[in-house]
Amino acid sequence: MGCRGVGKQKILIPDVKKSFFPYTLHPTPYTLLELMVELKRLEVGSFENNCYILTCPRTRESAIIDPAAEPEKILRAVQGARVKYILITHGHLDHIGALEEVQGETKAPVGIHEQDARALGRKADFSLQDGQILTFGDVSLKVLHTPGHSPGGVCFLAGKILFSGDTIFPNGPGNTAIPRSDYREILRSIHAKIFPLPDDTIIYPGHGLETTVGREKATSFYPLPQEAERRP
């Protein structure tokens, strides 16, 4: 874990080389300064979901990715920020458990891909679409539609940081042994949308600790979709 002073703030920067295999746990939540964005990872709920909070340090505008559980913890972490978006990586209940309270308090619009939107139990405020750019303060997030774990699964890319939901984790794709998921499709998404990114792109998944594109590409856990056995 590197530590760098930026103005009066002390920003913790994970040392990527040291943070894998064996994992060293980062303090949670921690803050990362990368491309002028402050990043907090909150581990919440009983499925160890990650809720990420990105904030532009200049304007204090924020986006919340996956308000999964423990709304008080999430709301505490966005104090002093103006939440411009609540973004949902996909419509599984463990990723949206605190949505109602967090939306009620922040009044921020909720975005999800339309193919997963019915999970919300209400109308989404806007639909996430592949290639769409979302801006808050000086920060831009690009939406990548990465179906496979669910039909409306998306990742969010900010510079060399990817928030991958349940599409990709250290050592493999997300679970596809569940309804509406497809093993070949998740491999197709990973090969088409994630592996072309620079090797040093950090992947922050929906559960657990981070990895990088290069590290995952170097493993054998991602056969090409046409070579993959169909899984049940």
Q: What single-letter amino acid sits at 25?
A: L
User: Which residue matches tokens 């919440």?
Assistant: 44
Q: Does 185 bind Zn ion (CB under 5 A)?
A: no
Q: Which is nearer to Zn ion, 37 or 190 (CB)?
A: 190
CB of 168: closest distance to Zn ion in angstroms?
A: 12
CA distance 157 to 146: 12
CA nearest neighbour of 31 among 10, 61, 59, 62: 10
Nearer to Zn ion, 137 or 152 (CB): 152
Give the footprint of Zn ion on residues 1-30 (CB under 5 A).
none
Q: Is residue 116 within the footprint of Zn ion (CB under 5 A)?
A: no
Q: How far is the CB of 90 from Zn ion (least distance, A)?
A: 6
- Least distance in Å: CB of 4 to Zn ion? 32
Which residue's CB is nearer to Zn ion, number 18 or number 231? 231
40 near Zn ion, judged by CB under 5 A: no
Rule CB under 5 A: say whether 166 interacts with Zn ion.
Answer: yes
CB under 5 A: which stretch of 26-34, 92-100, 126-134, 209-217 binds Zn ion?
A: 92-100
Q: Which is nearer to Zn ion, 84 or 92 (CB)?
A: 92
Measured from the CB atom, the residue of 11 and 69 that comes closer to Zn ion is: 69
In the complex, minimum distance from the CB of residue 181 to Zn ion, in angstroms, rounded to a whole number: 9
- Residue 183: CA count within 13 A, CB half-sphere: 13
Q: 139 with 37: CB under 8 angstroms?
A: yes
CA 159/CA 201 separation, integer angstroms? 8
Given a contact cutoff of 8 angstroms between Cβ atoms, the answer to whether 178 and 93 are in contact is: no
Query: Between residues 94 and 105, which has the closer beta carbon with respect to Zn ion?
Result: 94
Q: How far is CA 61 from CA 73, 80, 138, 158, 231, in A?
A: 18, 9, 9, 15, 42
Q: Which residues contact 76 (CB under 8 A, 6 or more apart)?
A: none
Which of 179, 171, 185 lies closest to 232, judged by CA? 179
Residue 66 token pair: 């996956």
Stretch that binds Zn ion, among 18-26, 164-172, 187-195, 213-221 (CB under 5 A): 164-172
Q: Shortest Cβ distance from residue 174 to Zn ion (Å)?
A: 6
Contact call for residue 193 and Zn ion (CB under 5 A)? no
Of 142, 203, 197, 202, which is closest to residue 173 (Cα–Cα)?
Answer: 203
Choice from 92, 145, 184, 188 touching Zn ion (CB under 5 A): 92
- Asked if 113 touches Zn ion (CB under 5 A), the answer is no
Chain residues in the site for Zn ion (CB under 5 A):
92, 94, 166, 206
